[in-house]
């Protein structure tokens, strides 16, 4: 084999002149000529190993490629040609850029096949790869959560199973019809409680107590008590059934739940016991201040609204844009309030008494509110107001578009992840069904061969049933998504 004319000539030491070696690589029909001096810049890559494997015989060659033509000295690979075109840039430019339209996970697998380290991938492409890996991890997490909900561990105690059922019943409305009914009831209680809080401030619906003070109508108080009772029962059940109590207590939405019900019990305590410890007027002021905290319950709607949750996450991802907006407005407010104060000093009836007072005028002017309680009276002051108005419109409009894009991108991403998780479950169901059918067919063939019938026949069929079969979706659609093909 060593003397075959198809292999390159050797020098007196038996080693190949790699620098002058020329090879042809055919990847998915795309032919590319390489020279040894280029490939040997990165000796640990697969292409560089092709140069050195020629002296090792066919066993060494076919361990690196799918096929080899000795006459043309051409190596054949059944790999993605588009990804290969990007990877070979390493030998010419020293870095790799992933072209648009190539799956990042597939491209990473191609780099691993060609034995190219990820450190040669450009930073922007690394960020895209990291984002895609996070998406796949999120899909896997959602699938695992669904499987955990569907599965029943026989080794768990009765209390553990009951705890898991209550948690799924209260936290996951999509799990069953009764869970959806409970979610709708909770939503209605939040709305009713918020409406009662607002209606209770209408003077015509209030009554006068023995001391001449206006208080809420007893009927509204009863409705408020019923709503608080529901919120309390819901929070306690969720706390008891929570798999991680510490994480549950420190969660933002659960803190909102506590703030929504805590003022009621504190007010009740102050009303009955506080009068013995402090003056009645101080108790009433404390109760009134706590009742203001009832507005926190409106944030409970976010638990039942995916749109509000998406808006919250989008705002968290837009801190930079929101910071720019506040910076633009702060600079404009300071500049135009100082100019307005200076220009209005010549007018005897000026409304600009100081620069801090002028801040209020600049805020309502730049945000296009314009209450009219303070306004310029001189010509220069009016010109300054017109310029501040235009600058305010521009300053507010500039960061708004990125914030909207973040919201739309995050919302679409969540929908894609949710769909991909469902498709993964469809595939698992399909694979389980296929495994079940194959196993059943094999069992039947064995039974026919053995000539056995009767009770043993049914027991064998039971064994063939797949325990991982998931009765989840009724639609007969089984196909892969782009995210799943990345795996």
User: pLDDT class for 283, splitting at 50, 70, 90?
Assistant: low
Rounded to whole angstroms, the Cα distance separating 260 from 408 reads 30
In this prediction, residue 274 carries a pLDDT of 55
Domains of the chain: 22-146 (3.30.710.10), 189-304 (1.20.120.350), 309-429 (1.10.287.70)
Least confident of 87-96, 286-295, 378-387: 286-295
Q: Please count the CA atoms within 13 angstroms of the CA of 12 that sit on its side-chain side.
A: 0
Distance CA 160, CA 148 (A): 13
Q: What is the pLDDT, as a whole number, of residue 391?
A: 92
pLDDT for position 438: 63
Q: Tens digit of pLDDT for each residue in 317-358? A: 888 888 888 898 999 999 999 999 999 988 888 889 899 989
- 251-277 pLDDT per residue, tens: 878 888 888 788 788 777 777 665 555
**pLDDT tier for residue 27 given thresholds of 50, 70 and 90:** very high
The pLDDT value recorded for residue 437 is 62
What is the pTM assigned to this prediction?
A: 0.54
| Cα gap 325→391, rounded to integer Å | 12
pLDDT digits (tens, 9 = 90+) for 120-147: 888 888 887 887 787 777 777 777 766 6
442 — pLDDT class (breaks 50, 70, 90)? low
């Amino acid at each position: 084999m060593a003397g075959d004319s198809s292999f390159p000539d050797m020098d007196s030491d038996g080693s190949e002149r790699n620098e002058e070696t020329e090879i042809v690589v055919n990847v998915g029909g795309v032919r590319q000529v390489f020279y040894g001096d280029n490939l040997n810049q990165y000796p640990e890559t697969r292409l560089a190993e092709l140069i050195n494997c020629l002296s090792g015989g066919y066993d060494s060659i076919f361990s690196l490629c799918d096929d080899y033509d000795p006459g043309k000295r051409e190596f054949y690979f059944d790999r993605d040609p588009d990804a290969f075109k990007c990877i070979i840039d390493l030998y010419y430019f020293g870095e790799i850029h992933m072209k648009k339209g190539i799956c990042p996970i597939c491209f990473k697998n191609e780099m691993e096949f060609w034995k190219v380290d990820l450190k040669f991938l450009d930073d922007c492409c690394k960020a895209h790869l990291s984002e895609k890996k996070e998406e796949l991890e999120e899909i896997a997490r959602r699938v695992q959560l669904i499987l955990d909900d569907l599965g029943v561990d026989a080794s768990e105690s009765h209390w553990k199973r009951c705890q898991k059922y209550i948690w799924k019943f209260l936290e996951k409305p999509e799990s069953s019809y009764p869970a959806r009914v409970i979610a709708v009831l909770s939503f209605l209680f939040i709305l009713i409680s918020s409406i009662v809080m607002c209606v209770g401030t209408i003077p015509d619906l209030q009554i006068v107590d023995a001391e001449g003070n206006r208080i809420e109508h007893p009927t509204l108080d009863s409705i408020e008590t019923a709503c608080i009772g529901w919120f309390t029962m819901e929070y306690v059940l969720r706390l008891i059934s929570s798999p991680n109590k510490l994480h549950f207590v420190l969660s933002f939405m659960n803190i909102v739940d506590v703030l929504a019900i805590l003022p009621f019990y504190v007010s009740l305590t102050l009303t009955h016991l506080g009068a013995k410890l402090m003056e009645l007027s101080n108790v009433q002021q404390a109760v009134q201040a706590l009742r203001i905290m009832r507005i926190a319950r409106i944030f409970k709607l976010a638990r039942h609204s995916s749109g509000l949750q998406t808006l919250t996450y989008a705002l968290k991802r837009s801190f930079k844009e929101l910071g720019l907006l506040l910076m633009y407005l702060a600079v404009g407010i300071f500049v135009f309030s100082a100019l307005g104060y200076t220009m209005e000093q010549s007018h005897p009836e000026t409304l600009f008494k100081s620069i801090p007072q002028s801040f209020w005028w600049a805020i309502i002017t730049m945000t296009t509110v314009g209450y009219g309680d303070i306004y310029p009276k001189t010509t220069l002051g009016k010109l300054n107001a017109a310029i501040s108005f235009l600058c305010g419109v521009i300053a507010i409009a500039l960061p708004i578009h990125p914030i909207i894009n973040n919201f739309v991108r995050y919302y679409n991403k969540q929908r894609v992840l949710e769909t991909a998780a469902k498709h993964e479950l469809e595939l698992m169901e399909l694979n389980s069904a296929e495994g079940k059918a194959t196993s059943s067919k094999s069992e039947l063939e064995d039974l026919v061969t053995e000539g056995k019938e009767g009770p043993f026949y049914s027991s064998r069929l039971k064994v063939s049933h797949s325990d991982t079969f998931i009765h989840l979706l009724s639609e007969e659609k089984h196909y892969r998504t782009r995210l799943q093909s990345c795996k």
